[in-house]
Amino acid sequence: MSETATFRLNVNGEQRVVEGAWVGESLLYVLRERLGLPGAKNACEQGECGSCSVLLDGTLVCACLVMCASAAEQDVVTVEGLPEQKGELTDVQCAFLDEGAVQCGFCTPGLVVTVHDLLERNAAPTELELREAISGNLCRCTGYGRILAAAQAVVAGRSGSGRSQREPSA
Amino acid sequence: MTVTTDRQERVREGLGSSVKRPDGVPKVDGSFAFSSDLHADGMVWGHILRSPHPHARIRSVDIGPALAVPGVHAVLTADDVPGDKNFGLEHADQPVFAHDVVMHIGEAVAAVAADHPDTARRAARSIVVDYEVLEPLVDAEAAITAAPIHRDGNVFADLVIRHGDPSVEGEVVVEGTYEVGMQDQAFMGPESGLAIPDGEGGVDLHMSTQWLHVDRDQVANCLGLGHDKVRMTLAGVGGAFGAREDVSMQVHLCLLALHTGRPVKMVFSREESFLGHVHRHPARMHYRHHANRDGRLVKVEARIVLDGGAYASTSRPVLVNACCFAAGPYDVPNALVEGWAVRTNNPSCGAMRGFGAVQVCFAHEAQMDKLAAALEMDPVALRLQNAMKTGDRLITGQLIAGTAPVAALIETCSAAPLPAEDPDPDPMGLPGGAGRTADRARVRRGVGFALGFKNLMYSAGFDDYSTARVRLEDGVATVTCAAAEVGQGFVTLAQQIVREVLEVDEVVLAAPETATIGSAGSTSASRQTWMSGGAVERAALAVRARLDAGEQEPIEETYEHHHPPTSPLDADGQGDAHVSYIFAAHRAVVDVDLDLGLVRVVEIATSQDVGRVLNPMQVVGQIEGGIAQGVGLAVMEEIVLDGGVVRNASFTDYLIPTALDMPDVQIVALIEEPEPGAPFGAKGVGETPTISSSAAVAAAVRDATGLELPRIPIRPQDISLAQR
């Protein structure tokens, strides 16, 4: 590996130094393989599946599409760095568990980051807005029903109106 | 995992309640270790060089340029395989590395280990392979009689079922030819694993798979090692759906680890994943249904050709299933079914959710609708009139001894309220969504209905079993079982079962691995609830009996749970080949833009046979997720082949349903009729949601368009360019 670079990233509020990385490495590769943060997943390496969703300077991105060296000095938030609200989990993470939104779990960290980002920007999305917002995150196990239920439970919880509007019909 | 000692709380965590997954917290916080997340000190990265041709002779392979790349630790080819050169689930015909010829695009030719994944990729690209390109055989029908493309011939399996009097004729006859395209399982977590040499000639392999022990045996055979020298541990599995039943990179990883003396990690890219695992068999099916004027089915004739691709995989049992369930869940007194599963130079096909039952369901349900039209009958009424019930016989002559609540499924599902039509829909909710907005005036709604069924567990004489150990010590129960958790929730169920039987609070699940316990069989065929659930239950019951007899802890019991024996089919395709069956009904509502050919699936209503619900939340998850894959097959998903070349090996080009494509799911009824002989009376629910949902969507699109649409996936041009 001839072309290498050393630079700094601000990851989950911590200054991290990336040393001697090949300049072609993606932000996803560096997070996973150099910084010990495996929460963002690689499922398609071309920005189609959303499994690697992270926040880069507050914007939701697919980490597989960001050349890491170009993210130098920027703020990165991964699933590992989401603000805890209930003990060790966020309300979104708790809702995913409570509503049955997790099966194999490979898409889950990306979806958790995406739902957090959506609800920061739109506290009361309609169902279509919700579907649109998570349509960049592929899930092959759940059919999305329980994921939508989890997001709606968070909306209800944050607005103080109690339970999800989307109960399983069984 | 600890739960409170309150009795009510304990019942809540037992069977029948929506207990949460024990692996849920690490899966939501990102710390769960999938196979692609593994790391070992000093590890290097593996990469496989694949054939760009579907059929070619290998004249020579020059690995010199790869060996010269700095950072490369090993470059291996067929010459480096010390044991069996081939592997396979049923028939070892798939080479670890192609030697002499390549039989399909993406076939492994060489493997590299290097200190960086990009170094490994670049080194693999530098290997010079001299191919003599051969004409690929890609037509499954032609393959039956074509010159053999492999020393084992072109026919993996053929089968005839003669039931009743195959010569009788009905008063009304309808026929049709139907096709199903090649579907990919498209799990999210690509194939990946980590092999660690033990320094004594053996190897530890951490891998995402569906069946540890059968992988272990195939790997050891190819390495020329005793089975105890290869130890497999299940790494976190990012979905499976059948695609992890066959060996993919397992042998390559271990070979690289043994050659380099270092831990070796490999992760397939999405393109490699599409090229590196089996798919659902494409099918071509000709059907003729005979009935009397009163609607009573007289006979079903079917000719089924499955394209098995280059290597055998599970083509034979997939064909057995396709033929056994070819007539659908109906009382059919006479049948003649002929089936072939053939070898071509297309990608290999094998297990995918529904396993042969999906393809024939699309055909038999289209036929039932066609028959209803010919009889001027309501299609739901026609199905109800002919619905299979306990005491009927399958077309293999086997008595349906267990539960078969088909009539209840039809009655409940068809009576569910239809979704209202939105007079002013958001453009995002129209067919095509925001990007390709349909013209509301040209959108037509359609409704379709379909029934499906299949067997639970392995059939036709296979000695299917699972092994589990339960140890009770200091009030903590530990379960050891090699059943692969692939997302379905066996881990939740195992804890529920042990809590129920032993009334303990804390149930620990040991890592599934080959070194500590016998086989649990495959996580497939909707079998782990019955097979491994049963093994866990019986081991726990044996512990309970010793506890009740006054014995002191620790108490440990191991149980090997076999299902009742089955028989292979005879020369007429008759025999008691199956243990149990599961049924489902789906009703689809679609909106179709007639000009653009765009389909929006609005809603799927379903009633599902379940035996007994052990975890309602997990049953809902299986149903919704299975329906998503059925919807995908109906209107989106197909591996596009051009002379054996895969044209869409990416998520950009192979489309699976997103949250915007997925319809609302209305679970109308879960029919709980406990299945005799099943642990807790429960049936595995993983596959039926996929089987008849595709057929229901296709029927709904036919209803909306008036077109015959004999092929899935239904493409926009099948509608927009159709002659009306």
ipTM of the complex: 0.96
Of B562, B588, B607, which closes a domain? B562
Amino acid, single-letter form, for residue B72: V
CA dihedral B646, B649, B653, B655 (to 10 degrees): 110
The answer as to whether B63 is a domain residue is yes
Same domain? For B612 and B516 the reply is: no
Residue B258's CATH number: 3.90.1170.50
What average pLDDT does the segment A64-70 reach?
96
Same domain? For B541 and B635 the reply is: no
Residue B520's CATH number: 3.30.365.10
The answer as to whether B145 is a domain residue is no
Give the pLDDT band (50/70/90) at residue A86. low
- Strand, helix or coil at B678? coil
The answer as to whether B710 is a domain residue is yes
Same domain? For B305 and B439 the reply is: yes
> How many CA atoms are closer than 13 Å to the CA of B508, on its beta-carbon side?
10
Of A78, A110, A139, which closes a domain? A78
Instruction: For residue B468, list its beta bridge partners.
Output: B481, B559
Same domain? For A60 and A100 the reply is: no
Closest-CA residue to B667 (of B607, B589, B588, B617) = B607
Closest-CA residue to B356 (of B94, B520, B578, B656) = B578
The reply to whether A168 touches chain B by the CB within 8 Å rule is yes
Same domain? For A55 and A116 the reply is: no
Give the pLDDT band (50/70/90) at residue A80. very high
> How many CA atoms are closer than 13 Å to the CA of B584, on its beta-carbon side?
36
Same domain? For B45 and B194 the reply is: yes
Are B358 and B283 contacting, i.e. CB atoms less than 8 angstroms apart?
no
What residues contact B324, with CB distance under 8 A and at least 6 apart?
B161, B394, B395, B396, B455, B459, B569, B573, B577, B578
- Amino acid B364: pLDDT: 98
- Amino acid B433: pLDDT: 81
- Amino acid A1: pLDDT: 52
Contacts of B632 in chain A (CB under 8 A): none
Q: Which residue has the tokens 């040499």?
A: B197
Of B562, B589, B609, which closes a domain? B562
The answer as to whether B526 is a domain residue is yes
Per-residue pLDDT at A125 exceeds 70: yes
DSSP at B561: E
Of A78, A108, A129, which closes a domain? A78
Same domain? For B27 and B44 the reply is: no
Cross-chain CB nearest to B660 (options A49, A93, A131): A131
Q: CA geometry: angle at B243 spanning B237 and B249, to 5°?
A: 75
- C-alpha to C-alpha distances, B374 to B291, B362, B370, B670, nearest whole angstrom: 10, 19, 6, 32
- Amino acid A166: pLDDT: 52
Mutate to test the interface with B, among A33, A134, A140, A164 (most CBs of B within 10 A): A140
- Amino acid B436: pLDDT: 65
> Are the Cβ atoms of B186 and A140 closer than 8 angstroms?
yes
Residue numbers of the domain that contains B487: 7-32+465-562
Count up the domains in chain B and report the number: 3
DSSP H or E segment with residue B704: helix B688-705
Same domain? For B61 and B119 the reply is: yes
The answer as to whether B194 is a domain residue is yes
CB burial readout B386-400, b (16+ within 10 A) else e: bbbeeebbbbbbbeb
Interface of B with A in 636-655 (CB under 8 A): 650-652
Mutate to test the interface with B, among A104, A139, A142, A152 (most CBs of B within 10 A): A104
Same domain? For A16 and A73 the reply is: yes
Same domain? For A51 and A102 the reply is: no
The reply to whether A139 touches chain B by the CB within 8 Å rule is yes
* pLDDT tens per residue, range B671-720: 999 999 999 999 999 999 999 999 999 999 999 999 999 999 999 999 99
The answer as to whether B664 is a domain residue is yes
Same domain? For B258 and B401 the reply is: no
Note the pTM of the prediction, 2 decimals: 0.96
Longest CA pairwise span in chain B (Å): 78
- Amino acid B12: pLDDT: 54
Handedness of CA A135, A140, A143, A145 (dihedral sign): negative
The reply to whether A162 touches chain B by the CB within 8 Å rule is no
Are A12 and A81 contacting, i.e. CB atoms less than 8 angstroms apart?
yes
Same domain? For A100 and A143 the reply is: yes
- Amino acid B427: pLDDT: 83
- Amino acid B724: pLDDT: 64
Closest residue of chain B to A25, computed from CA coordinates: B118
Same domain? For A56 and A101 the reply is: no
Tokens for B24, please give them: 């849920």
Same domain? For B101 and B194 the reply is: yes
Same domain? For A20 and A70 the reply is: yes
Same domain? For A8 and A74 the reply is: yes
The answer as to whether A84 is a domain residue is no
- Amino acid B13: pLDDT: 78
Same domain? For B581 and B433 the reply is: yes
Are B226 and B233 contacting, i.e. CB atoms less than 8 angstroms apart?
no
* pLDDT tens per residue, range B305-316: 999 999 999 999
Instruction: For residue A67, list its beta bridge partners.
Output: A26
Same domain? For A115 and A147 the reply is: yes
Euclidean distance between CA atoms B180 and B714, whole angstroms: 10
Are B60 and B79 contacting, i.e. CB atoms less than 8 angstroms apart?
no
Same domain? For B443 and B471 the reply is: no
The reply to whether B416 touches chain A by the CB within 8 Å rule is no
- Amino acid A84: pLDDT: 77
Percent of chain A with pLDDT over 90: 88
Same domain? For A64 and A96 the reply is: no
Give the closest-approach CA distance of A161 to chain B in angstroms: 23
Q: Which residues of chain B have pLDDT under 50?
A: 1-8, 10-11
- φ and ψ at residue B525, rounded to 5 degrees: 55, 30
Same domain? For A95 and A48 the reply is: no
Interface of A with B in 50-109 (CB under 8 A): 51, 78-80, 88-89, 93, 96-100, 102-109
The reply to whether B656 touches chain A by the CB within 8 Å rule is yes
Of B544, B562, B580, which closes a domain? B562
Euclidean distance between CA atoms B129 and B252, whole angstroms: 18
Amino acid, single-letter form, for residue B34: F
DSSP at B40: -
Handedness of CA B362, B364, B369, B370 (dihedral sign): positive
Helices (H), B398-442: 406-415
* pLDDT tens per residue, range B352-410: 999 999 999 999 999 999 999 999 999 999 999 999 999 999 999 999 999 999 999 99
- Amino acid B438: pLDDT: 82
Per-residue pLDDT at A156 exceeds 80: yes
Cross-chain CB nearest to B27 (options A37, A105, A140): A105
Per-residue pLDDT at A164 exceeds 80: no
The answer as to whether B164 is a domain residue is no
Count up the domains in chain A and report the number: 2
Same domain? For B542 and B638 the reply is: no
- C-alpha to C-alpha distances, B563 to B211, B457, B528, nearest whole angstrom: 18, 9, 12
Residue A125's CATH number: 1.10.150.120
Closest-CA residue to A107 (of A12, A152, A154, A40) = A40
Residue numbers of the domain that contains A144: 91-159
The answer as to whether A46 is a domain residue is yes
* pLDDT tens per residue, range B153-173: 999 999 999 999 999 999 999
* pLDDT tens per residue, range B439-492: 889 999 999 999 999 999 999 999 999 999 999 999 999 999 999 999 999 999
Same domain? For B40 and B28 the reply is: no
Span between the terminal Cα atoms of chain A, in Å: 56
The answer as to whether A110 is a domain residue is yes
Q: CA geometry: angle at B712 spanning A50 and B486, to 5°?
A: 45
Burial of residue B362 (CB within 10 Å: 0-12, 13-18, 19+) is buried
Residue A14's CATH number: 3.10.20.30
Of A55, A78, A101, which closes a domain? A78
Same domain? For A13 and A71 the reply is: yes
